[in-house]
Amino acid sequence: MTTKLLSVLLALAILGSGLAAGASDGIGIGNQTTTETDSRVVFGDADLTTERGGTVSIPVELTGTDTASLKIGTEDAVNYALDVTVEDGNGDGQVVVVFDTDAAGEPNATKVTTEASEDAATVNDETADFEGEPPYPALAPGAYPVELYDDEDRFVAESRLRIEEASTTEGPMTETTVDETTDIATTMDETTDIATTEEDTTDIATETSDDTESSVPGFGPTVALVALAGAAMLVARR
């Protein structure tokens, strides 16, 4: 009986020392540890609003990973969808994707770029249900969903891209008005010069006419002397 009790106590002592050693190595039951950092991607703070035909910047923040995915639009709701993979090339934890709404659906056009040259945005797929032939008009005004996925293609968040009607600018009209005003002023100057020339011509004609009229009737002193000399010669001959 004593021998069996000693055997049981010895077995318990050996088992207890094994568990203690396992706990000290960090492999305790139900207490697994890991050295990997969980990846995380989110939208950065930004107003995703632009005018029709403009560009919009979409910031993506990455932690523990350097890749993520964006899906702009949906083929069912807005007849347009763009699937893009983004990559943090400079390691700053952020990629700002610039989407060109005017290039949407255009063959061989650049749809997305990145603000940082080291980062990358690659189009994986594009679905565009536009009528007619290219070139197509820019994406129509409205709200377009923007979905964000992590590096394992798991859905993370959704935002909204808003496209507004393009505002009209008066810059070209103002420039045209200035040019037209200059042309009018130049024409007025030329008209004034012509009028001045006509007045000068009239003055010259008047002076010439006055000189002619004053000289012809009386013949002048020289003509009178010649006449007297002629008369004297006639008298001498007789």
Residue predicted with more confidence, 234 or 163: 163
User: Distance (Å, rounded) from C-alpha 166 to C-alpha 156?
Assistant: 32
For 167-192, the pLDDT digits (tens) are 876 555 444 444 554 555 555 555 55
- Residue 158 makes CB contacts below 8 A (sequence gap 6+) with 145, 146, 147, 148
Average pLDDT, the chain: 75
- Residue 187 makes CB contacts below 8 A (sequence gap 6+) with none
For 149-161, the pLDDT digits (tens) are 999 999 999 999 9
pLDDT for the residue 131:
84
pLDDT for the residue 25:
43
pLDDT for the residue 212:
44
pLDDT for the residue 38:
74
Q: Is the pLDDT of residue 166 over 60?
A: yes
* Cα 184-188-194 angle, rounded to 5 deg: 145
pLDDT confidence bin for 221, thresholds 50/70/90: low
Mean pLDDT of 132-160: 94
Instruction: List Cα–Cα distances, 139 to 69, 70, 107, in angstroms.
Output: 21, 18, 15
Q: What is the pTM of this model?
A: 0.57
pLDDT for the residue 215:
46
pLDDT for the residue 35:
35
User: Distance (Å, rounded) from C-alpha 74 to C-alpha 146?
Assistant: 9
Q: What is the DSSP string of the chain?
A: -HHHHHHHHHHHHHHHHHHHHHHHTT--TT-----PPPPEEEEPS---EEETT-EEEEEEEEES-SEEEEEES-TTTTSEEEEEEEE-SSSSSEEEEEEETTSTT-TT---EEESSTTSEEEEEEEEE--SSSSSPPPPPSEEEEEEEE-TT--EEEEEEEEEEPPPP--HHHHHHHHHHHHHHHHHHHHHHHHHHHHHHHHHHHHHHHHHHHHHTTT-HHHHHHHHHHHHHHHHHH-
Decide yes or no: CATH 3.40.50 for domain 40-164. no
For 15-59, the pLDDT digits (tens) are 555 544 444 444 333 333 333 447 899 999 999 999 999 999 999
